[in-house]
Amino acid sequence: MGSNVGDRVSTFDRALQLMKNSGVNITKHACLYETAPAYVTDQPRFLNSAVRGTTRLGPHELLKKLKEIEKNIGRTDGIRYGPRPIDLDILLYGNCQIDSDTLIVPHERIHERPFVLAPLVDLLGTSAADGIETSWHSLSKCSGGLFELWHKIGGESLIGTEGIKRVLPIGNRLLDWCERTLVMGVLNLTPDSFSDGGKFQQVEAAISQAKLLISDGADIIDIGAQSTRPFAKRLSPTEELERLVPVLDAIAKIPEMEGKLISVDTFYAEVAMEAVKRGTHMINDVSGGQLDPTILEVVAELGVPYVTMHMRGDPSTMQSEQNLQYGDICKEIASELYARVREAELSGIPLWRIVLDPGIGFSKKSEQNHEVIMGLDFIRREMGNLSIGASHVPILLGPSRKRFLGEICNRSNPVDRDVATVAAVTAGILNGANIIRVHNVGYGVDAAKVSDALLKVRR
């Protein structure tokens, strides 16, 4: 898939829907790439991605459907390799090798195009997770398959250059989350949150705190109206909205929010829908769709990024002895998070809108939190054994002021754990976190800046 004319992200969304309507069941998505134009260079930058699916359409029938979709979206013949609202190509079709007047499969120019190879490799897994990986690895004109082709032209070293960047579509922009660490500021509207419960329930207090978080450098304000601390009483969607809506409406209107993003921390589909209608840019779901499975289809329809977090059970059961049992905790988190990714994708949320959160403090003992923070890179690599693309999505880390930091530093008051939080998020960023969720944004921003500077030396 490629597009460099008009609202490229919306065009991709429309193309995916039209493919589904035409008999293509999309089962996997690549990441989203913004790329420099090839061949004809005097034109806007492209968005590129790829999808994988199943269909009863034969290859030539499928090609005909894709051309109809291109025409429906507004593509005309134009200049070859020139600007276009949408470009849909068949790269591979099962194990078939086709050479006809209208279709060549595998696509004949895969080997020379980073903007094709990067998303195509994303669709692979190095395990047998999807059943037919071997044929996809080997189906190319180069011995060693697609990985060999990708590495031969530069592979991961190309990502982040002017030629090709992975991006997250959010609001009206494309975020390159590898360029720098993003800082998410926490705004709790609950009376019983462990750190600041009850302080920001009134609209005026919440607005004042939001302005402080922004002035300290927050990129994202994460608003939560439902406590998810252990054994917290669960609110209904109606109760949660009664708390959330007045504050959300007020914050969305303040001038300081210009250029900033709003996230809402909820596991209810009804709350997510209402929040996005009122200007929210991202949904942060601690349950990954397990507490209200309809949230996945709702978020897919809303077309916003979705944070899926690792948690076993719910806040009332997550710290039970059974849910705290792990063999290899990082390996199991990768496997369980990938199961949530698959559910999200099959519900229509493309991989390029998914953010992963390993769930610090959720279904984890203190020592297990240490392992997770230091094991983020391992979690990413283990995810790559299941899906190359899923191993490349942003990771959000939220250790801020949590109990395990108090236990290490002997700080019983959560507010006294900000320095410990700096140490935890620094370790997390150096091990692969792309977004940090913190209460003290000023400290978090400084920690992110130092960590990013250190990472540049490593590279």
8 Å CB contact between 356 and 394: yes
Neighbour count for residue 373 (Cβ, 10 Å): 22
8 Å CB contact between 58 and 85: no
SS3 state at 419? helix
- DSSP string covering 110-173: GGG-HHHHHHHHHT--SSSTTS-HHHHHH-SSSTTHHHHHHHHTTGGGGTTBTTEEEEEEETTE
Peptide bond into 106 cis (omega under 30): yes
Question: HSE of 341 in the Cβ direction (CA atoms, 13 Å)?
Answer: 30
Angle (nearest 5°) at CA 82 between 90 and 34: 70
Pairing, β 220-224 against β 261-265: parallel
Neighbour count for residue 137 (Cβ, 10 Å): 17
Please choose, from the candidates 400, 374, 169, the residue with its C-alpha nearest in 3D space to the C-alpha of residue 281: 169
Amino acid at 57: L
| Structure tokens given for 361 | 């403090």
Please choose, from the candidates 76, 68, 74, 89, the residue with its C-alpha nearest in 3D space to the C-alpha of residue 18: 68
8 Å CB contact between 187 and 213: yes
> What is the SS3 assignment for 305-354?
CEEEECCCCCCCCCCCCHHHCCCCHHHHHHHHHHHHHHHHHHCCCCHHHE
Question: Which is the catalytic residue, given 364, 380, 402, 417?
Answer: 402
8 Å CB contact between 63 and 385: no
Amino acid at 190: T
Rounded Cα–Cα distance for residues 352 and 168 (Å)? 6
Neighbour count for residue 423 (Cβ, 10 Å): 15
How far is the first Cα of the chain from the last one, in angstroms, to the nearest whole number? 31
Cα Rg for the chain, rounded, in angstroms? Answer: 22
Quick check: is 437 catalytic? Answer: yes
Question: Which is the catalytic residue, given 437, 449, 456, 458?
Answer: 437
Quick check: is 402 catalytic? Answer: yes
Q: What is the total residue count of the chain?
A: 459
State the chain's maximal CA–CA distance in angstroms: 73
The residues carrying an active-site annotation are: 402, 437
